[in-house]
A and B are shown apart, each in its own frame.
Chain A
Amino acid sequence: MKKLLNNKAARTNLITYLVVVLAFLAMQLMNSAGMLGSSMKGFLVPICVYISLAVSLNLLVGICGELSLGHAGFMGIGAFSGILIAALLKNTIPNDFLRLLCAMLGGGVFAGVVGFVIGVPVLRLRGDYLAIVTLAFGEIMKNIVGNLYAGTDAEGFHIAISTSRMPLGEGGKYIINGPLGATGIQKLATFSMGFLLVLFTLFVVLNLINSKEGRAIKAVRDNRIAAESVGINVTAFRMKAFVVSAFLAGMAGALFGLNYSSVTATKFNFNTSINILVFVVLGGMGNILGSVISATVLYILPEAMRSLQDYRMILYAIVLIVVMLCTWSPKVKEYLSVAADKALGIFRKKEVGTNE
């Protein structure tokens, strides 16, 4: 245990897990005590989803050093494939929890496969190509799903990409309905599942970072030529990070989709991708706990400012700018660290006194 605590990486990881577990327990306690309003209860699942998205994007942006502007696209693939799977397995797997698990795994696999297909040509390139292609990918996904019709009728399952509504036979029911998006979704998502998703995401990402592969990925980020010279297959390791990130985003997307009774393709647009990127940047590149906290705070912030009515989005932007300045400006940072040292100094003196 002592050895574990002396290892800086292991210590940070432990703190990350503990914060998440404690937050979950606290929310569960408050929920059972009836202290949460409908709004707060409504935030629980999307916060878990956005934490997973931010952590998985952090793997790509912070650890691998690749800029992806299409993370919401993977989320969307996960959401719509998850919704389809959940709807189609309705009779095969009556247990809600198992069905949700299948839907999330399926959503993750779909997103991962698409990530692989995109990655094959793009990750061989240098420079900013990945950012441009992922941006385009997100828009393409949105437009494809906007014209996607899927549904079941007496004759079974139908799926089509078409400009007009696909006709369904007697007793037909649409699962995905073109520009209306997926409607009439059976809500399966629960906060516990959201918590498990966050834990799983953390487990995958933190273990990857601290593994042999993770060190190789970081080496590729820091100096590609040096990494190549010691025999690291640059493309393969970037691909690994990219596919894992897409897979986790797909899982989160499936949970997101199954938390609402309707989801439209326009939700997974450029703005959502940028939002997730903002969580990562403000939480700190490569800082996983930072992503967890910033996703939570920044998701709740505009909702908490509802009382400001029409001005809330302006204030949200101002808050983002202020946080950005505070965390990146060397002067402010210096000031903050001096203040923190002073505050910590009080503890330190006490600690010295009690220990010796």
Chain B
Amino acid sequence: MKKMIALALAAMMVVSMFAGCGGSSTGTPATEAPAANAPAAAPAEGAAPAIKIGLSGPMTGGASEYGLAVRGGMEIAVAEINAKGGLQIEFKSEDDQADGSDLAVSSYNSLKDWGMQILAGAVTTGSALAIAAETVNDQIFMLTPSASAEDVANTGANVYQMCFTDPNQGASAAELMKAKWPDATIGVIYDSSDAYSAGIRDGFLAKAKELGLNVAVDNAAFTADNKADLSAQVTMCKDAGCDLVFLPFYYTEAAQVLTYANTVGYAPTFFGCDGMDGILNVEGFDTALAEGLVLMTPFDASATDEATVAFVEQFKANNGGKVPNQFAADGYDVIYALYNACVAAGVDGNTPAADVCAALQEQFATMKVDGLTGSGMTWDENGMISKAPAAMVVTNGVYVPVA
């Protein structure tokens, strides 16, 4: 008898545990009619309910820097749009810890349970790949601000990118080098455990071979686990006599490379990609070392046009004086691109997600967007963006377009 009671209790505990968790998430099935019984979060005038845009990105863990920047940029855009009146946006972000499988999918699922109609994510390539396949099944429109692998956009017709694809960026870098430094001896340092870095390197090497560039070092690799010290990779380039070093990775590691190169008196031209943006704001980094650094970035926080200045000020005010990087700018542009498309297509919080998806696909095929990261941006049939790559050189602590 006692055993039976104990057994029943144990079983009940397990079931109630499941039920407890299921309860919080048994909302509206997002794919059917997300707005049917969603609370009216819309303004008081009795207008259509707000459209629900979700973001999945790393808000905790090692890559949280990128997720938080995107979120910061998106929140500014949402606040601006909601202040305008008209179509309102309800925005929610979830943490995927930059994971490429279960955590990303569960982040996406919890957004779906919330009633998300459009996904403005994911931030990192790994998570985006895991989530993109789910959005294809659910027919939820996806525009990622920063997941740059080609495979992301190729997952399905409803997946779009706001950033350059990696191989594309590598190829543009090679073309720029051919134009400006045709005789340079080139060294490449890269992060072999990172799809972004490895993708750019692959695109770069393919194009460099085609253009006949002199690449002396192409295997100076590090991984996410041993990036605390990059002196060996710098020494490889130095010993090979490279006078142009290509750094297709993020600015935190690039700051280490520049610092170490300075201590050993090695001063080639350093060349970075869009991940390099932000190097002038690394804490404890002597920005004088970045003098002469060339980088390809679509966003320049020191630009003087009205939109950028307003954005940078607002971002600083919201984030304790932090200067926004290209992740934040991409996030801002994503929300505006989605907003413009929604207004043009006439969708709102009442439209089922699958219909929003179809309407936005139509819009994105023909739409032109002006934003912080480029003007006249358009998308091709695969969902990849086309915008002009801008090369900057750091001069006196600010970006100046490469002459």
* Residues of A near any B CB (own CB < 8 A): 5, 11, 15, 18-19, 22-23, 26-27, 30, 35-43, 46, 139, 143, 146-147, 163-165, 177-181, 183-184, 187, 256, 259-267, 293, 296-297, 300, 303-304, 306-307, 309-310, 312-313, 347-348, 351, 354-355
Contacts and interface: CB of A to CB of B under 8 A. Distances in A.
Nearest to B99: A267
Interface residues of B, number: 63
Contacts of B218: 164
A196 B323 CA distance: 52
Interface stretch (B177-185, B190-198, B286-294, B300-308): B190-198
B198 A39 contact: no
A106 B5 CA distance: 41
A179 B193 contact: yes
B59 A309 contact: yes
Interface string B337-372: 000000000000000000000000000000000000
Interface in B84-106: 94-95, 99-102, 105-106
B113 A263 contact: no
Contacts, number: 175
B202 A181 contact: no
Contact of A266 (B102, B126, B149, B201): B126
B126 A27 contact: no
3 shortest A-B CB distances, which residue pairs?
A261-B133, A37-B25, A264-B100
Interface in B2-24: 2-3, 5-7, 10-11, 14-15, 17-22, 24
A5 B60 contact: no
A96 B103 CA distance: 25
Interface stretch (B26-34, B254-262, B312-320, B381-389): B26-34
Contacts of A177: 151
B193 A310 contact: no
B113 A147 contact: no
B214 interface: no
Interface stretch (B36-44, B221-229, B233-241, B271-279): B221-229
A38 B21 contact: no
A38 B30 contact: yes
A354 B4 CA distance: 15
A30 B105 contact: no
A22 B12 CA distance: 9
Nearest to A26: B15
Contacts of B223: 143, 146
Contact of A312 (B95, B106, B192, B225): B95
Contacts of B14: 19, 22-23, 26, 293, 296
B51 to A, nearest CB: 19
21 contacts: A22-B15, A37-B26, A38-B112, A38-B113, A40-B21, A41-B109, A46-B102, A163-B221, A178-B198, A179-B192, A180-B199, A183-B151, A256-B101, A261-B129, A261-B134, A262-B126, A266-B126, A267-B101, A303-B106, A306-B110, A351-B1
B195 A262 contact: no
Contacts of A296: 14, 17
A307 B26 CA distance: 14
Nearest to A50: B102
B219 interface: yes
Interface of B: 1-3, 5-7, 10-11, 14-15, 17-22, 24-27, 29-30, 59-61, 94-95, 99-102, 105-106, 109-110, 112-113, 125-126, 129-130, 132-134, 149, 151, 155, 192-195, 197-199, 201-202, 205, 218-219, 221, 223-225
Contact of A163 (B7, B10, B105, B192): B192
Contacts of B24: 304, 307
Chain B binding surface, main DSSP class: helix
Contact of A264 (B5, B25, B126, B219): B126
A260 B199 CA distance: 22
Contacts of A184: 133, 151, 155
Nearest to B150: A180
Nearest to B190: A163
Contacts of B221: 163
A15 B10 contact: yes
Contacts of B194: 179
Nearest to A306: B110
Nearest to B138: A38
Contacts of A39: 21, 25, 106, 109-110, 112-113
Contacts of B7: 15, 18-19
A42 B15 contact: no
B19 A267 contact: no
Given A146-B192, A146-B193, A351-B1, A35 B125 contact: no
Contact of A30 (B19, B60, B151): B19
B112 to A, nearest CB: 5
Given A40-B25, A262-B101, A262-B130, A179 B17 contact: no
A297 B15 CA distance: 11
A95 to B, nearest CB: 22
A26 B205 CA distance: 55
A179 B166 CA distance: 13
Given A41-B109, A180-B195, 16 more contacts: A5-B3, A18-B11, A22-B15, A23-B18, A26-B18, A38-B109, A38-B112, A40-B25, A42-B102, A139-B225, A164-B201, A184-B133, A259-B101, A262-B133, A313-B61, A351-B1
